[in-house]
Structures are given as structure tokens and as C-alpha cells.
Amino acid sequence: MDFDFYWLLLALPGAFLAGWLASRLDLRQLKREDRASPQAYFKGLNLLLNEQQDKAIDAFIEAVQHDPDTSDLHFALGNLFRRRGEYERAIRVHQHLLARADITRDERERAQHALAQDFMKAGLFDRAEDAFKALEGTAFTTDARLALLSLHERSRNWHPAIDVARQLEAAGTGSFSQRMAHHWCEVAQEADARGRADEAEQALARAREAAPQAARPLVIQGQRLLRQGDHAGALRAWDELMALQPQAFALIAMDYAQAAQASGEGPTALRKLEGLYAQAPSVEVLNAVNLLQPDERLRRQRLIEHLRHQPSLSAAQGLIRERLSSEVALDQSEIEGLQKALNTAAKPLQRYRCAACGFESQHYFWQCPGCQGWDTYPPRRLEDQ
């Protein structure tokens, strides 16, 4: 028993040290055929363990100078530089590796990959793009394509983004159809902004093709038709949206009601909206229903009913708006609904918040349970500040 415990005592710090080391420095990159300079190399490791990164780097540089043929040491050094945010030095190390004639193909690809990551981290996106493109056909192909995809998205180059997404999907990396639909939607909106309606229409069709269930192409399609004054067309697009993505319909519910009103489709739309509200209640759909509901009593009833289940401020706002234009005083159920909404909205604001760590609580603490600080709570509730 004592013996086991003794080993446990030894093993625990050992495991901790190994984990820490692995996080600091990829150990795989350090396995090497030991040759000339294990001394400088172990000195570097030792310094790393003592959190003396500057001196560790000096030691590794010394080791590299003694033993310039060892590419693993270069990789370790380059990694260390990148992790410390010294991107220029990381880039120099990896470029130096790439320029060498004596490294294997695997090492060359690894250096190219490391260099691409350096450029990315350094914010040199043009050079990162070139470096990632050079990895096509290597063991890093998928990784490079994923990086390229986010690079293209970041710089809003939608067509190249679509190409890369297509390659990724064809290679079986996963489904990129939703993402491609977004790319095509972006293309459509940019075309519309340039006044190229035909281009926008084509792009939108491609978006629907890419992801027939996606909400955004239908949202945009309806908005475009509405801008062109085609109310019936907009309603058709959004009817489809209502069937495919009832949750997303809330985004255009009010526009839908207005389009229906403008085209004399009010009663039909009201029926559909009421059906949707019963299935997926939201304030947006409720407002749309009430826009088309001519009966004031029914409008109020709906608002009160909604407040009872979902005491949101928007619904309370709707009720107040409704009642401002009427002469009848608020009745008991309306007051209760408003109060419920106010209580819900006020609750998060009636807390105290530690100024040191942000810990929030209903009760006042002289010592914060989060950060253990004394007198770190301002004696006022959040709503009072």
C-alpha cells in the first residue's frame, strides 16, 4: 500500500510536467537523432521549464548553430517564436528551412504549412493565401483548404470561397452546402448593390440550388420582389419560407403582413399567420397578426395571452401602444400582463455585480464568492448605476 502510494506521488508531478512540456513545445518535433549538441538543447529545455523563454530561445539558437542540419530544432524554434507572437522571427526560421536543399519532402511540406500559419497569425493574408495554396496536393491539403475558405470569407472573395467549399465537399470533408448558400446570397446582394439585377437573380437561384432548405435565399428573394413592387411574388416566396423555416419567418413577419395588406390579401395572410403563431409563437408574428386583425378586442386579447406565456418587453410595448389610442382604462388582466413583463425584464438589473470579477448575485456580499475579494461589490444594484 505504501509502495503504491509512493509511486503515485512520483507519477503525478511527472505526468503534470510532461503535459506542461507538451503544451509548451511539441515534443514530437524534438525527437531527433542526438548528435552534436545535446548539451545546449537540454539547457534550452531546462530554461523553458523555468519559464525563462528568452534564455531558452538563446539556448536553442545556440544548439541550431552547433547543429545546423537538424530540422527538428528549427521547427521547435519556429513554433516557439510563433507562440510568443514573434512572427517575423518565426517566418525567418521557416523560410530558412524551406530554402535548404537537404530536407525531406515531408519536412518541406511541414515547413510550408508552418510558414502559412506564421503569415496568417501575422495578419499577412495575401502571403498566407499563397502559402496555403502551395500546400495543395500535400498531406496538409484539407487543412490548407479550410484556412483558404476562411481567408476568402474574411476578404469577402465569394467566388473563390465557393470554389474551395466545393472542393472540400467533393473530398468528403463534410457538408458545405449551407455555407455555399450564404456565399451565393452575398454575391446576390453585392450584385443588387451594383444595380445588376440579373446577376443577383442568378446567384440567388444558385443559393437555392446549394441548400434548398436554407432560409436566407427565400428571405432575400421576397425582399427583392417587394422592392420591385411585386407583392404577390414576395408573399409566395415567404409562404415557402413559412413552410420550410417557421422560426426564420419571424425575420420578415411584419413585411409579410404589410405586403398582404397592400395587395388585398389581408384575410388569407391573417389566417396563415395565426396558424404559424399557434405553431411557433413569437412577438414578431404576433405583431404581424395584430397588424391584420381589424377587431380591437381580439388584438388586446392576443397581447394579454402572449404576455401571460412570454412576458417580453416587446409584447408589453405592443399592449401600451394599442391602449394609448383607446379611451377605455386598462383592465386587471392587462395590468397583470404588463407587470409580469416588467418583473422579468427588471430581474437581471436588480443584481449586484463584483467590480473585480463580474460575479453577479441577488444578495449583497462583503466578500465576493467568485474572486474572494473584500469590498469588491459596489453597494448599488446594476439598475442604479
State phi, psi for 364 to the nearest 5 degrees. Answer: -85, 135
Site string for Zn ion, 303-342 (x = CB under 5 A): ----------------------------------------
**H helix runs in the chain, sequence order:** 2-24, 38-49, 53-66, 71-83, 87-99, 105-122, 125-133, 141-154, 158-170, 177-193, 197-210, 215-227, 231-244, 253-262, 266-279, 283-292, 296-309, 313-324, 332-346
Binding region for Zn ion (CB under 5 A) out of 123-131, 211-219, 276-284, 351-359: 351-359
**353 beta partners:** 360
Is 371 annotated to bind a ligand? Reply is yes
Is 357 annotated to bind a ligand? Reply is yes
State phi, psi for 326 to the nearest 5 degrees. Answer: -120, 155
Rounded to a whole number of angstroms, the minimum distance from the CB of residue 349 to Zn ion is 19
Q: Which is nearer to Zn ion, 75 or 359 (CB)?
A: 359
Candidates 100, 357, 365, 381: give the one binding Zn ion (CB under 5 A): 357
Q: Check: CB of residue 293 under 8 Å from CB of residue 299.
A: yes
State phi, psi for 355 to the nearest 5 degrees. Answer: -75, -20
Q: Would you count residue 359 as binding Zn ion (CB under 5 A)?
A: yes
Q: Which is nearer to Zn ion, 61 or 355 (CB)?
A: 355
Q: Which is nearer to Zn ion, 61 or 356 (CB)?
A: 356
Is 354 annotated to bind a ligand? Reply is yes
Rounded to a whole number of angstroms, the minimum distance from the CB of residue 368 to Zn ion is 3
Candidates 49, 254, 313, 356: give the one binding Zn ion (CB under 5 A): 356
Candidates 371, 374, 380, 383: give the one binding Zn ion (CB under 5 A): 371
What's the rounded Cα separation, in Å, for the pair 256 and 9?
69
Q: Where does residue 146 rank: exposed (0-12), middle (13-18), buried (19+ CB within 10 A)?
A: middle
Q: Which is nearer to Zn ion, 25 or 368 (CB)?
A: 368
Q: Which residues are annotated as a binding site?
A: 354, 357, 368, 371
Numbered residues of the known binding site for Fe cation = 354, 357, 368, 371
Sites of contact with Zn ion (CB under 5 A): 354, 356-357, 359, 368, 370-371, 376
